[in-house]
Amino acid sequence: MPDKQIHLAAHFPGVNNTTVWADPRSRSQIELASFVELARTAERGGFDFFFLAEGLRLREYKGRIHDLDVVGRPDNLTVLTALAAVTTHLGLAGTVNSTFNEPFDIAGRLATLDHLSGGRAAWNVVTSFDEFTGENFRRGGFLAEEDRYNRAIEFLAAVRALWDSRPEHDLLVDREAGIFAAPHAGEFRFRSPQFDISGVFDIPRPPQGHPVIVQAGDSPQGRDFAAADADVIFSRHSHIDAARTFYRDVKDRLPRFGRGENDLKIMPAVTYVLGDTDAEALVKAREVRAAQVSPQTAISRLEAVWGRDLTGHDPDGPLPAFEPEEDTLLAKGQAQFRTGRGEMARQWRELAEAKGLSSREVVIEATSRQTFVGTARTVADQMNEFVQTDGADGFVFVPHLTPGGLDDLVDQVIPLLRERGVVRTEYTGTTLREHLGLGPARTPSASSTTAEIRDAS
């Protein structure tokens, strides 16, 4: 069997503590020039798509903006639309939540991006995981975790129905005659427990039929949602053993939804650090990790696990001696606490004891391990092995520098993978669906314009 192709995406670091701001090479995180630079690097490397996460509220620490969070984040779909003008093949993926938006608006904005980019749009459907963000949109309370997924399922079905409401080839373009018309504007009606909408969708069917759907949840409900209805999973499982288990679990869910192995690509978030020797890369990786976990970050992570205020705790001293609060309410919807606070604290204590680590060093060790570390050759080997042994179908690279963080990967590692024939040397298709090796989107059927979901669960 020929080797699997490695699919690649570039994550522009955003509202998080990934970027090492102290590095003199770090530049603006909101200027267009930064987005353009990273996107062009990704396109030079033959990447499938560029990816923007969504953070609708800056993280706070005790009422103040967290020290390693950044100034803010421009609107995803607007940024991607700007990038459509300066790239030619790169897919453009935006995270947009289904909890605080409306299907008509999002279907229209994604269809617009797909048209303006010539079929390169993707949508990462997230439910958003905290009440903290919900406060921005308060409409009489925040949706419970289960309702958020039900809404996501119905939301995506509604958006697909809107795209399907316009027949294929309904855009009449006769440049000589100056005709740009859509004579077959379709009507839609969509009813579900959370939506009851009808009208005429005002944008012609997107060039891809349906933009590529990405999903990032990790719960059983999230995995089923992805297996049923997504094209790509953006996963948090970047360690090979956990990644293989996750890969098998999700791929095994596909037949239940009438889908095959290749219909869903699994791409974990990963990082990399290169060096002239493996040993030098390891030292650099340690420096990067230390810069990503400030003393304040360390304390806030400890507080998240221990479930209580740890003001005054010395980050350079040992872990708290007392047991964490088992607060299941707080833990809900937060994938990192699925193991439970008590269990997590026990693992952290074990780590501290085994390696003689301070609180901050434990957080560094436990939360921000680099995925690929070594020379360019070592990293190329690790990446290829990861994909060929079914840990993933590719990767979403999260660089620690903005915007030049993928330069070394593209200049030093990608050429080696190209030599092995597992990364494309040039784009053979024009749409993101083609880059990802996905079949065409479902064609609209008569029934899909008047969809109805009775029981979304």
Q: C-beta of 430: minimal distance to ligand FMN in Å?
A: 27
Figure out which of the listed residues 87, 117, 128, 238 binds ligand FMN, where binding follows CB under 6 A: 128
Q: C-beta of 338: minimal distance to ligand FMN in Å?
A: 8
Residues 245-274 as x/- pattern, contact with ligand FMN by CB under 6 A: ------------------------x-----
Total residues contacting ligand FMN by CB under 6 A comes to 20
Q: Measured from the CB atom, is 23 or 145 closer to ligand FMN?
A: 145
Please, which of residues 207-236 interact with ligand FMN by CB under 6 A? 216-219, 221-222, 234-236
Cα end-to-end span (Å), the chain: 39
Q: Measured from the CB atom, is 332 or 349 closer to ligand FMN?
A: 332
Sign of the C-alpha dihedral, residues 311, 317, 322, 328?
A: positive
Q: C-beta of 219: minimal distance to ligand FMN in Å?
A: 3
From 413, 352, 375, select the one nearest 284 (Cα to Cα): 375
Query: What is the distance between the alpha carbons of residues 289 and 284, in angstroms, rounded to a whole number?
Result: 9
- Binding status of residue 95 toward ligand FMN by CB under 6 A: yes
Q: Measured from the CB atom, is 13 or 403 closer to ligand FMN?
A: 13
Buried b (16+ CB within 10 A) or exposed e, 179-215: eeebeeebebebbbebbeeeeebebbbbbbbbbbbbb
β-partners of residue 374 are 274
- Binding status of residue 54 toward ligand FMN by CB under 6 A: yes
Query: What is the distance between the alpha carbons of residues 143 and 54, in angstroms, rounded to a whole number?
Result: 18
Figure out which of the listed residues 39, 53, 153, 406 binds ligand FMN, where binding follows CB under 6 A: 53
Contact 422, 2 (CB under 8 A): no
Binding piece for ligand FMN, criterion CB under 6 A, among 120-128, 162-170, 182-190, 194-202: 120-128
Contact 197, 103 (CB under 8 A): yes
**Element (H or E) spanning 100, and its range?**
none
Residues 313-352 as x/- pattern, contact with ligand FMN by CB under 6 A: --------------------x-x-----------------
From 372, 146, 357, select the one nearest 272 (Cα to Cα): 372
Task: Name the residues that contact ligand FMN, by CB under 6 A.
Answer: 53-54, 95, 97, 126-129, 216-219, 221-222, 234-236, 269, 333, 335
